[in-house]
Every structure is written in structure tokens, then in C-alpha cells.
Amino acid sequence: MSERMISLTIDNVKVEVPAGTTVLEAAKQAGINIPTLCYLKDINAIGACRMCVVDTGGRALQAACVLPATDGMVVKTNTPALRDYRRTLLELVLSAHDKKCLTCVRSQSCELQKLCKDLGVENGDRFAGKQNEYAIDDASPSIVRDNNKCILCRRCVAVCSKVQNIGVIGPVNRGFATAIESPWNMKLAQMGCINCGQCINVCPVGALREKDSTDQVWQYLNDPDLHVVVQPAPAVRAALGEEFGYPMGTSVTGQMAAALHRLGFDKVFDTDFGADLTIMEEANELIARIQGGGVLPMITSCSPGWIKFCETYYPDFLDNLSSCKSPHEMLGAVIKSYYAEKAGIDPAKIRVVSVMPCTAKKFEAKREELAATGYPDVDAVITTRELARMIKEAGIDFRALPEENFDSLLGESTGAAVIFGATGGVMEAALRTAYEAITGQVLENVDFRDVRGIQGIKEADVKIGDQVVSVAVASGTGNASKLLDSVRSGEKKYLFIEVMGCPGGCVNGGGQPIVSAQTRMTCDPRVERAKALYQEDADKPLRKSHENSEIKKIYEEYLEKPNSHKAHELLHTHYASRPLYLD
């Protein structure tokens, strides 16, 4: 079916676009970047900031982000009046902004800063006057909110309520007193915030950021009595390069391992090993549930944002959650037991640092029940962004680094593990192992393409032996809500469900490098970064978790078999329902 095309003229450039396209999108197609601030593709188009105003010859200037292109329309985006208008808008925004760019974590990735530079704002104090002073909310283990930098664009509000179906922040009060806050002066940590950090990723300025843990990691590294072990998650290698000027979707696995060695970690293990271990446990748990009449559908448990979402908003599904810890927690538990014994190191002296694409992992690591050896499985979590800052702070020339390998014992991994970072990846990895465990036959084609891609909800019927296994995959907790509602009502029946808390999975996690709204108009980080992971999977000699030789070894020497008593002690956990608000 062909869409009706319309033609318009923007800055003397003729453009043909499908009906329904906005002037903003049409201009992009004509190679014209209309400045935006509150606009976020597919998520927030409210015409509120007025930065994208254009001249259509009518009486008033129009916001291009909400203006449908019409046939024969003549649009001007760059007139002296428009440039002046936008500069004045920016000066007004600055009148309520703290302007502490030099010490802001978002310096050089700030959309406000960039606009001021690009549009030639010369006086940040033109409308100097009264300014609101806000207390910084840093009570959450994952997210810090600083309203002194907030420009009220509402992108965070939109992603929290519309995409994630949570809505723990919103505009309060009116006029000059308007602020984006949790209701009743509550802090984020008192709300049913799942710590996913999607709000951070979409913030154009530095009003939202991760709770920084780099100081803690530097302290570990500088303590000669400690044995400091690091493990990066699958999705980190697909995005870290962006912080060093590589194009989106560049895999930097080898250089990342080298950088971690140079930072001074005693061992550089790989969360991918933890992912393979997770599959061993989870695939066998699934088989046991199917064959033994356990609670179905079983739902994956790797994503801590999703887990807190389930505990808070869907507690009736807690028994459906796999009891498996997430991969980095599994690896942490194994480092402080198996590895500690083999290397002859007192687990009390070991510190496990996880590098994660995720802010919710910071909350997860603090869960008291995740301490299999009596010590926390994981001691500190830093995000991809924080690792990039540490590398820069240490003066490591990332682009000049050679490619290095992860360290042995807990560093080997298969293709099944690396795709954990993308939506559908855990499902596909589990199916590869479950298929062979159930049928006893070799799975020739390991690609389960039905569960790949960025659609919010995916379904597939997978034939395993003489059984058809119905599976579903959801990413983003808004999509998870829809999927769980359909299961709860009995409309849908599945045996196995994968949920990742962030849209597109961990590649688009709340700890990943910031992608500006302008870049998102033409380039989807969920797609580009996932490509890097699937390429790495395809290039691996081994693509099924149970073929990993270090995995075989740890079961032979230590864990006996999947879901053994020992495995349960170290690698499994439990969940509890949580209140919507804490006093």
C-alpha cells in the first residue's frame, strides 16, 4: 500500500513526504535541523518549548514538532526574526538555569549548551532575576535529580509515564513555581521508581544523572589490601566506544578489556560468563517447571528495573519470576566462592565491581538477599558513562589501546551470552540450550529471528521436539504491563516470557552513553547497538551457553549440575512485593 505523498517547500528546498509527516521531520529530510528542546521522537511532541518555531506565512509562528506538513506549504525556518525569537527563548530559559556548565556532568553532551553555542547566545544574564533554589534529591541509589538545572521540557515525565507506565515524576505547581517533582515533596526513593534511568537518557541537560560510584571504585583500586575484580555487561561493549568518538554500533570489546586492565583491576572477568551461567540455570529451571508442573509462564529475572516493577506493580506474578539471580550477581557470588577458593584469596578482601548499562543495577547490588557468601555478591556498580569518565580521568588513550582478552577462569563466553544485551536475547540464548537439553539433538540453526528486533512485544511458537513452546518477549515496562495484563486476563497463554525493563533491552539502558534528541531523529540506539551484539554472536566459535568450556569446568569442579543444592545457594534468589510509596 502506498502512502499519499505531499510536497512542500522548506527554505527554498522542495521536499516530498508521506501525509502525516510533521514539518520538523520533513525539514530533517531536506537536510535542515530545526532546533528542538522539548521534542523527543515518538515520546514527546508537545510544542511547549517553542524552540522549533517556523514561519509558514501565517499570523503566528508555529511549532514545527506538532505542525503537520500540508501540500504546497511554504516554510521558512531561518529568518532574522526566527533567529532572534529563538535566542530570546534561550535567554529566558537561562534566566532560571544554574549555568554551572564547567562542573556539570552533561557538559558537552548538553542540548541547552549546544543550542546556546549554535544559535549565538552571548549574554546568559540578559533576563537575570529571581531564581528558584531547589534541594538536590540524591536519596535514590541510582538516580540524582537536580532541579536547579531543569528546563521543564517534560521529556523525563513523558518517558516515565508513557513509555515505562510508571509516572513517579510530574509537573507540580504553576507559573514560576512549576517544577518537575514527585508528589507531596517525596523523594524518588520513596516512590515506586524502578531506577531504570530512562529519564536520565532523555534529559537534555544535567537535571538527571546517575548516582556516581566512581569515587568508591577508585578507593578500591588504591587500596593495596584489596583484590579488585571487574566485570562488564554485554551491552557495555556495544556502546562504550561512543564516548570516545566511535560511531554508534561499534563493538569495542577488546579495547574495553585493555582499558580495564590499565585502570588497575586485578582480574578482568566478563559478565558474559555470568550470562552463560544464567542460561544453564534458567533453561534448566524452565524445563523443570514445564515437566514438573511448576508455575508458568516462567518470566526472566535478569533486569533489575523489571524486577522492581514486578514487585511494585504486578506482585501477583512474583511466583512466575525465575529464581535466577541476574548474570552479574551470579558472577559476583561465584567470584567470592569458587574463584576465591581456587585463587586462595579471602573473600573478605575481594571487591567485585560491575560495569553496567544500567542504573537499576546500583539498587540491585544493595539488596540484602544478594550476598550468597555472607559478603555482597557485588560491591559497586558503575555505568557505561562512569567507566568512560574513569578512563578519561586516568588519561588512557582509548582509541590507541590494543585489543585484549578477558582473564581466565571466569572470562570465556559464547554468542548466547553477548546477545543478553538486546531485547529477545535472553529468550534466544535460553532456547538454544533448552532445545538441546530437551531433545538431546544438536540444534543446527541457532538463530531465533522471531524474537529479535525492537518491537515492544514479540511472540513466537517454537517447536522443540514434539512440543510447541509459546514464548513472548517484552521490553520497556509499559510493554511488560500490556503483556502481563493479557496473561492475567487469560487472553494469552505462554510458557516462557522474557522481560527487559528498558525499551530495546540493555543496549538502551539508563546507564548508556547519552544520545541527543536530534541524533535520535535519524538513528535508533536500540537498533545500532543491538547490531553490534548480534554480529559478535555470529562471529563467536561457540554460540550455546552449555558449550562454554569454563562453564563446563565450574559445574564439574564446583556446582555439580544446574539447579543443584550448591547452585541454588549461590545463584538463585527470591522476591517480595513492595509498597507504592514509602513514608
Partner 1 sequence: MASVKEQYDALDRVIAENKDLPGALMPVLQGAQEIFGCVPIDVQKYIAQALNVTLSEVYGVATFYSQFSLQPKGEYLISVCLGTACYVKGSQKVLDKLTEVLNVPVGGTTPDGRFTLQATRCLGACGLAPVMTVNDEVYGRLTPDAIPAIIDKYRKAEEA
Chain residues that interact with partner 1, rule: CB under 8 A: 157, 161, 166-174, 182-184, 580-581
Q: Least CB distance from residue 172 to partner 1, whole Å?
A: 5
> Considering beta carbons, is residue 313 or 435 the nearer one to partner 1?
313
Distance separating alpha carbons of residues 262 and 150, to the nearest angstrom: 37
DSSP labels, 547-567: G-HHHHHHIIIII-STT-HHH
> Considering beta carbons, is residue 182 or 198 the nearer one to partner 1?
182
Q: Which amino acid does the sequence have at 32?
A: I
- Residue in 109, 213, 322, 337 annotated catalytic: 322
> Considering beta carbons, is residue 186 or 288 the nearer one to partner 1?
186
- Residue in 149, 308, 361, 362 annotated catalytic: 361
Cα dist. 38→50, 155, 524 in Å? 8, 6, 18
Q: Least CB distance from residue 286 to partner 1, whole Å?
A: 33
> Considering beta carbons, is residue 188 or 515 the nearer one to partner 1?
188
Q: Least CB distance from residue 167 to partner 1, whole Å?
A: 4
- Residue in 193, 302, 324, 502 annotated catalytic: 302
Residue 361 annotated in active site: yes
Residue 364 annotated in active site: yes
Cα Dmax for the chain: 78
Gyration radius of the chain over CA positions: 25
Residue appearing with cell numbers 518517558: 159
Residue 436 annotated in active site: no
Cβ–Cβ < 8 Å for 498, 278: no
Residue 506 annotated in active site: yes
> Considering beta carbons, is residue 193 or 559 the nearer one to partner 1?
193
Q: Least CB distance from residue 169 to partner 1, whole Å?
A: 6
β-pairing verdict for 467-475 and 457-464 = antiparallel
> Considering beta carbons, is residue 82 or 172 the nearer one to partner 1?
172
Cβ–Cβ < 8 Å for 425, 414: no
Task: Enter the DSSP assignment of 18.
Answer: E
Residue 285 annotated in active site: yes
Strands (E), 358-448: 380-383
Q: Least CB distance from residue 50 to partner 1, whole Å?
A: 20
β-pairing verdict for 227-232 and 350-356 = parallel
Distance separating alpha carbons of residues 89 and 86, to the nearest angstrom: 5
Residues in Cβ contact with 21 at an 8 Å cutoff, skipping those fewer than 6 apart: 6, 29, 68, 69
Cβ–Cβ < 8 Å for 470, 461: yes
- Residue in 285, 386, 436, 536 annotated catalytic: 285
Residue 322 annotated in active site: yes
Distance separating alpha carbons of residues 237 and 416, to the nearest angstrom: 15
- Written as nine digits, the cell of 259 is 582499558
Q: Least CB distance from residue 581 to partner 1, whole Å?
A: 7
Residues in Cβ contact with 346 at an 8 Å cutoff, skipping those fewer than 6 apart: 340
- Residue in 364, 428, 498, 536 annotated catalytic: 364
Residues in Cβ contact with 220 at an 8 Å cutoff, skipping those fewer than 6 apart: 226, 228, 351, 353, 379, 380
> Considering beta carbons, is residue 124 or 170 the nearer one to partner 1?
170
Q: Least CB distance from residue 111 to partner 1, whole Å?
A: 24
Which residues form the catalytic set?
282, 285, 302, 322, 361, 364, 369, 506
